[in-house]
Amino acid sequence: MSFNFSDNNRLLCSVLISLILEKQILIMAFDRNTMLENCKKWCENTLMQTLEIEFIDAGEGYLKAQMPVNPRVHQPMGLLHGGASVALAESVGSAASLMFINPETHEVRGIEISANHVKSKRAGMVYGTAKIIHKGRMVHLWEIRITDENDMLISLCKITNIVLERTKK
Catalytic residues: 90
Residue 72 DSSP label:
G
- Give the C-alpha separation, 54 to 69, whole Å: 13
What dihedral do alpha carbons 94, 100, 106, 112 form, nearest 10°?
Answer: -30
Residues whose CB falls within 8 Å of the CB of residue 5, separated by 6 or more in sequence, listed in order: 13
Which string of DSSP letters, residue by residue, matches 95-142?
HHHGGGS-TTTEEEEEEEEEEEE-S---SEEEEEEEEEEEE-SSEEEE
Strands (E), the chain: 54-59, 62-69, 106-117, 124-135, 139-148, 153-165
Amino acid identity, position 35? M
